[in-house]
Amino acid sequence: MADRSLRWRVDGRVMVAACLLAVSALAGCGGAPVRQAANGADQEAETTAVAPAANAPDGAEGSAKGIANGDSPVVLVSQLAGQGVTPEEAALVTDMVRRELMATGKFRVIDRSDMDKVLAQKASQLAGLSADAESVQFGKLLNAQLAGTGSFGKLMGSYVLSFRLVSVETGEATNAGSAEGTTLDELKKGIRKFVSEFAAR
């Protein structure tokens, strides 16, 4: 009777040990794929989060369309030289040119706030330069490929604008255009026309 009781206890221990081994084996076999799948999901999530950042807009207001194309040249548009107009009018028309350049999707235009920050720090490097030379030097400071410069004034009751894009590398004009109109709306149409011609070249 004692031998039989002892044999049951031994057999029971063997069965428990076998069950534990079976459970461990199942956990070991099932655990790896779960971890692998989790790692795969983490990797996929990381790729999804990083990939769009490469084509993300720069953050400049209204410039998303231009910034989105990474192959487009970076353009710095300097304040137009005013002739017979107020500084506010010159700034307004300069912004018109910036917006039209961005709207083509062919140019990445540097935000004016970024220009102001650099200008505050590097004004001494631009002192005494001509309009074109100043724009080119300013463009170099901001890693631009093209610098936009020109003049805006009023002549015999009509607004007149002259604008050109200059290569920061060579200092040579790559595009030039002009516009005029008795109202700012007419002037804007002229700006849109020559900017569209710039984009098509």
CA end-to-end distance (rounded Å), the chain? 105
Global pTM value: 0.62
Nearest residue to 150 via CA among 72, 62, 70, 82: 82
Phi, psi of 164 (to 5 degrees): -150, 155
The verdict on 32 and 105 lying in the same domain is no
pLDDT in tens, the chain (201 residues): 444 444 434 444 444 444 444 434 434 444 443 333 333 333 333 322 222 233 333 333 333 333 444 589 999 999 999 999 999 999 999 999 999 999 999 999 999 888 888 888 887 877 877 777 888 888 888 899 999 999 999 999 999 999 999 999 998 999 999 999 999 999 999 999 999 999 998
The verdict on 15 and 100 lying in the same domain is no
The verdict on 82 and 107 lying in the same domain is yes
The verdict on 66 and 116 lying in the same domain is yes
List the helix and strand counts (H, then E) for the chain.
6, 6
Write the pLDDT tens digit of every residue in 51-65.
223 333 333 333 333
Give the chain's domain count: 2
Tokens 């007419």 locate to 186
Residue 30 lies in domain: 2-53
The verdict on 113 and 149 lying in the same domain is yes
